[in-house]
Amino acid sequence: MTKRASYSYALLFAIFIYSVSDLWSHADNPLTIEKLKNAQYDLRCGRVKLQDGNYDFGKDSHFHSVELTDKIAFGDLNGDGVADAAAILRTFAGASGVLVEMVAVLNENGIPRQAATLMLGNKVGVETLSIQSGEIVMYINKHSTDDPLCCPSLWVTEKFKLQGSRLLPVP
């Protein structure tokens, strides 16, 4: 084998090891429910930093509360081979407002980084949440055109794909 061929093989081997070690580092630092329960999110009500899945702000009639629900799914959202997350958060906005939002969270070496947010609506119920083939799939109870604000009655399956900083519907 010539010196040039040996250098080429050595270079290819080094690139391979570097690539694999990058994947291993993400595998060693997975996103967890605990990390999501203590992450920062930008929601319709503003930027919140959860502590054990909750955040409270305001007082008296302006009191608000944000809660990370148990609807959390893990899977690759951006095609890098590393498990990311989708999660449902509820904001209790006083009176009768319960705003429901979905967040897409990327795994940046074990640190959750919110990539996108989607407002699902007021008092929307999410029955199931999963990530399948890079798409977020939800079975949700939302308002039909004739429903009063208190009582959504339309059950549908919806799919979304992360595109940059947006969650786009998948037909």
Half-sphere exposure (CA, 13 Å, Cβ side) for 73?
22
Question: H or E element: which one contains 17?
Answer: helix 3-28
Measured CA to CA, the distance from residue 27 to residue 6 in angstroms comes to 31
Round the average pLDDT of the chain to a whole number and report it: 86
pLDDT exceeds 50 at position 1: yes
Residue with the larger pLDDT of the pair 143 and 61: 143
In this predicted structure, what is the pLDDT of residue 4?
A: 58
Statement to judge: residues 83 and 116 lie in one domain:
yes
| Amino acid (one-letter) located at 126 | V
Instruction: Report the sign of the C-alpha dihedral through residues 146, 151, 156, 158, in that order.
Output: positive
Residue 91 · residue 65 · CB < 8 Å:
yes
For residue 10, pLDDT beyond 90: no
User: What is the pLDDT, as a whole number, of residue 64?
Assistant: 80
User: Strands across the sheet with 54-57, in order?
Assistant: 54-57, 64-75, 84-92, 98-108, 111-122
Does 69 have pLDDT greater than 50?
yes
Percent of the chain surpassing pLDDT 90: 67
Same domain, 165 and 134: yes
Total residue count of the chain as it appears in this document: 171
C-alpha–C-alpha distance, residues 131 and 118, integer Å: 15
| Residue 16 and residue 43 in one domain | no
What is the C-alpha to C-alpha distance for residues 86 and 137, in angstroms, rounded to an integer?
10
116 in the same domain as 62: yes
On whether both 39 and 22 belong to a single domain, the answer is no
pLDDT score, position 27:
59
Q: Give the range of the structural domain holding residue 2, as residue numbers without chain letter.
A: 1-29
Same domain? 81 vs 106: yes
Q: Find the mean pLDDT for residues 16-37.
A: 68
List the structure tokens of 74: 């893990």
- Residue 17: pLDDT band (50, 70, 90) is very low
* Identity of the amino acid at 72: I
Cα distance between residue 93 and residue 44, in whole Å? 11
Residues 37 and 117 grouped into a single domain:
yes
pTM of the model: 0.81
pLDDT for residue 58: 73
15 and 43 housed in the same domain? no
Could you tell me which residue, 19 or 7, shows the higher pLDDT? 7
- In this structure, the answer to whether residues 5 and 63 fall within a common structural domain is no
Q: Please count the structural domains in the chain.
A: 2
In tens, the pLDDT along 100-124 reads 999 999 999 999 999 999 999 988 9
